[in-house]
Chains A and B, each alone.
Chain A
Amino acid sequence: MILINPMILYAQQVYVNPGVSQVPDDRQTLRAIFSMRLRQWPDGTPVTVFVLPTTHPVHVDFCKEVLGVFPHQLQRAWDRLVYSGTGQAPVEVDSLEEMRQRVQETPGAVGYVNKENSE
């Protein structure tokens, strides 16, 4: 069973691998995860972040509503990490379907889904 974050205010939801025991639900932690700063879960499992393309409407809404950042800021934060050697980029998937599949099969994975489609 997949755990769904109870952030009912938004159309997008954080989506984690079943092995992740504590689903992050505060903005500070989510920002740390999606800006690729947080590297491991409290149990030591490495965090693996999945995102949709930066122009995908679900990605745009997730950034603005759930994280409270603009997609261009997140992209620049990733670029700074990737091209200075201080971090890595999230793994990009093409569709919500692929997002679900990759998150389910990757230990420590975290991504997001559109609530309407997740039920």
Chain B
Amino acid sequence: MIQRSLLMDSHALFRALLRVMALGIAISGPAGVAVVRAAQPDFQVHGFLSQGYVLTSENNFFGNSTSNGSFEFTELGVNAFWRLTPSVHAAVQLLSRRAGESSNGEIRLDYGMVDYRAVSNESLDFGVRVGRIKNPLGFYNDTRDVAFTRPGVILPQSIYFDRTRDLALSSDAVQFYANRRNAKGEWELQLGIGNPDVDDLDTELSLLGADRAGDLREELSYLGRLMYERDGGNIRVGLTGAQLNMDYAPGVGDPSGPGSIRFTPVILSAQYNAENWSLTGEYAQRQLEFDDSIIYVPSSLKHFTGESYYLQGSYRLDPQWEALVRYDVTYLNKDDRNGEDMATLTGGARPDYSQFAKDWTIGLRWDPHRSWMVRAEHHWVDGTAWLPLQDNPVPSETERRWRLFTLLVSFRF
């Protein structure tokens, strides 16, 4: 069962957030005097608001997206940053996201932390962050809900699954970080220990196949990312490793016993940046292990590994226009890439094509103003591996081949 206790309060909070956004837009004004102008060294407020439209040929993505399409894709965030002393800062971000059935617009604390930098000189930074911290996974997870920072309207779903997004977002954790610089480049290491957010229906649906009587509970988890940037970022390479630990706590009359679940993703990231174009690729393997006592997972799937990768090219036609092309591949189980074992195991309830997804994407980005962005994107998808489960409750009633068109308008300050 999923806690919805915040839901009532969230409407009032949502309205308050909207007022802050309206204020931001009013201050930024038509003349383009962005609020960034008002940013002061010791206190800064920033925010973003994105509204998307999604139209699919088959299957639902972010709401009832077939026929007339769906506008149920809204992202809204406000953050504040305080420099308390030269070596201590605090930062907080509130986030509201609506995306079909999976995200209902509820306000969440995206991050809220204190950062103490023990060492900061021209060749080394070292410090520690405590509180709710964004999980540094791959290139894009840290700012995954900020459309301006994404490489497209929708992140490559192979690596950045929106359907288990809550698990990936942030952790209540302690994180140590170090940056080492020399003439050639910069190394950045982040090591965190803490609790991820597992109390989410989508996570339960993805891991246990349905909304079970019991609950998923977080256990102490570990996350590390090492990133190297050569020559100011012309070449960026990264290695992320995490071990996310959860427990299944049975509910009343639950036929299953308690047990632990361990999710171990490893991500390799690489990017080349030229003046007008960038080439980006990421590859991931995700191990999932369940205790035998959790009866909702068939014995053949108690331990399996998923595999994902994408390759993406973007070209800046001029400072305002950017074109994107991407090929993105997901296998939920690398020992069952074509999904036949799953289809057999479930008697067709989980079709073979629900176990993979191959997505060709083209997109266009237009930045008419530093605070505004418009994006259009088209996807040709073979498979449903990352189709949101709550928007498509019956897997056998989905279509294998489908297209997705999306349009997004985004404002930030």
Contact = CB atoms under 8 A, between A and B. Distances in A.
B207 to A, nearest CB: 26
Given A85-B92, A92-B36, A80 B142 contact: yes
A53 interface: yes
Interface in A23-50: 24, 26-29, 31-32, 35, 37-40, 42, 44-46, 48
A93 B232 CA distance: 23
Interface of A: 24, 26-29, 31-32, 35, 37-40, 42, 44-46, 48, 53-55, 67-70, 72-73, 76-77, 79-80, 82-89, 91-94, 106
B120 A39 contact: yes
A84 B134 contact: yes
B111 A77 contact: no
B79 interface: yes
B81 A79 contact: no
A77 B148 CA distance: 12
A91 B40 contact: yes
25 contacts: A35-B232, A37-B120, A37-B179, A38-B120, A40-B86, A44-B86, A53-B370, A54-B370, A55-B319, A55-B370, A79-B149, A80-B142, A80-B143, A82-B81, A83-B48, A84-B111, A85-B79, A85-B91, A85-B112, A85-B115, A86-B91, A88-B39, A89-B36, A92-B36, A92-B37
Contacts of A87: 81
B117 interface: yes
A28 B183 contact: yes
A23 B320 CA distance: 35
Contact of B148 (A29, A54, A79, A91): A79
A92 B115 contact: no
Given A83-B142, A86-B91, 18 more contacts: A28-B182, A37-B181, A38-B125, A46-B86, A48-B41, A54-B370, A55-B370, A69-B233, A82-B46, A84-B111, A85-B81, A85-B134, A86-B115, A88-B41, A88-B44, A91-B39, A92-B37, A92-B39
B149 A80 contact: yes
Nearest to B91: A85
A53 B34 CA distance: 10
From B89, B91, B93, B370, residue with most partner A Cβ within 10 Å = B91
Contacts of B270: none
A39 B117 contact: yes
Contacts of B40: 91
Contacts of B319: 55
Q: Give the bracket for the number of chain B residues in contact with chain A.
A: 35 or more
Contacts of B186: 31, 37
Max chain A Cβ within 10 angstroms of own Cβ: one of B79, B111, B143, B182: B143
Contacts of A67: 232
A82 B129 CA distance: 15
B273 interface: yes
Interface string B140-183: 00110010110000000000000000000000000000010111
B46 A73 contact: no
Contacts of A77: 233
Contacts of A44: 86
B123 interface: yes
A25 B112 CA distance: 36
A45 to B, nearest CB: 7
B373 to A, nearest CB: 12
B181 A28 contact: yes
Contacts of A46: 41, 83, 86
A89 B232 CA distance: 17
B316 interface: yes
A85 B113 contact: yes
Nearest to B146: A83
A68 B231 contact: yes
Contact of A79 (B39, B112, B146, B182): B146
A83 to B, nearest CB: 4
A47 B87 CA distance: 11
A80 B111 CA distance: 13
Nearest to B316: A72
B37 A94 contact: yes
Contacts of A53: 370
A73 B37 contact: no
